[in-house]
Amino acid sequence: MAVETEESMLVRVQRENFSIDEELTRVRSRSSRIGGIAMFLGTARDRSKGRDVSAMTFEHYEGMAQKKLKEIREQALRDFDIIEALVLHRYGPIEIGENIVLIIVGAEHRADAFKACQWCIDELKKITPIWKMEYTPEGEVWVEEHP
């Protein structure tokens, strides 16, 4: 499969869904030395803090969100023994069961791929200016509305 592999494609914030197959191909085509790939896919669940959730919307800070995802990828490449990392997050309205976030890490060996993948998603949650509004029977709720 021919897939674009510019660096800008490895860090994206986008409204539309993504193809996991295409993104996986994008990462593995970066190097034939990759021998282990770890992936985290976050999807929209129908329950949150004891409430039913019927849909959600993600808001992001355009520019800063991309900048932080880029920093995460670059730091992961520096701090872990990995070959490539891809970080994608969607924004806008998302239905239950849909994809939200994707991290794919390619390394020579599995241990580094797993470790870096977990670090990337943890760090994304910490430093990336993205917010979630959930639609519940009680109305629209910003997650962490009472921070």
Partner 1 sequence: MLKVRLFGMLKTLVPGGKELELALPSGTQVKDLVDALHAQYPQLGELLLQKKVLVSVNQEIAHWDTALIEQDEIALLPPFAGGA
Does the protein bind partner 1 through residue 105 (CB under 8 A)?
A: no
Beta carbons of 99 and 41 less than 8 angstroms apart = yes
Selected range binding partner 1 among 30-38, 77-85, 106-114, 118-126, rule: CB under 8 A: 118-126
Q: Which is nearer to partner 1, 34 or 120 (CB)?
A: 120
Does the protein bind partner 1 through residue 144 (CB under 8 A)?
A: yes
Does the protein bind partner 1 through residue 89 (CB under 8 A)?
A: yes
Min dist. Cβ of residue 100 to partner 1 (A): 5
Structure tokens at 39: 């992936």
Min dist. Cβ of residue 126 to partner 1 (A): 7
Residues 120, 141: Cα–Cα separation, whole Å: 26
Q: Residue with structure tokens 């949650």?
A: 125
Radius of gyration over every alpha carbon of the chain, rounded to an integer in angstroms: 16
Residues 16, 19: Cα–Cα separation, whole Å: 10
Residues 51, 58: Cα–Cα separation, whole Å: 18
Residues contacting 139, CB < 8 A, separation 6+: none
Does the protein bind partner 1 through residue 37 (CB under 8 A)?
A: no
Does the protein bind partner 1 through residue 77 (CB under 8 A)?
A: no
Min dist. Cβ of residue 131 to partner 1 (A): 3
Q: Is 145 exposed, middle or buried (0-12, 13-18, 19+ CB in 10 A)?
A: exposed
Interface size with partner 1, residues (CB under 8 A): 31
Q: Which is nearer to partner 1, 12 or 28 (CB)?
A: 12
Binding residues (CB under 8 A) for partner 1: these are 42-45, 58-61, 63-65, 67, 89, 100-101, 121, 124-133, 142-145, 147
